Amino acid sequence: MCWVLAPLLYFGLQVFVVRAWPVPYEFLHHTVSDLGWTTCTVEQRPSGVLASCSPRHAWFNLGGIVVWLLVAAGGLLLRPLYGGPTTARWIVALWLVVAGFGVATCLVPGDVNLMVHSLLAVPVFVGTIALLFLNARGLRGSVPWAARAALAAAVVSLVGFAGLIAALTGSAPVGPTERLAAETSYLWIFLTGLLRAARTSG
pLDDT of residue 18: 98
Q: What is the pLDDT of residues 169-198, one digit of tens each?
A: 888 899 999 999 999 999 999 999 998 777
Measure the CA–CA gap between 47 and 45, rounded to whole angstroms: 5
- Domains contained in the chain, number: 1
> How far from the centroid of its chain's Cα atoms is residue 83's Cα?
25
pLDDT of residue 201: 60
Sign of CA dihedral 27, 48, 34, 189: positive
Q: Which domain holds residue 140?
A: 2-201
pLDDT in tens, 100-111: 999 999 999 999
Question: Global pTM?
Answer: 0.93
**What is the sign, positive or negative, of the torsion defined by CA atoms of 183, 185, 188, 194?**
negative
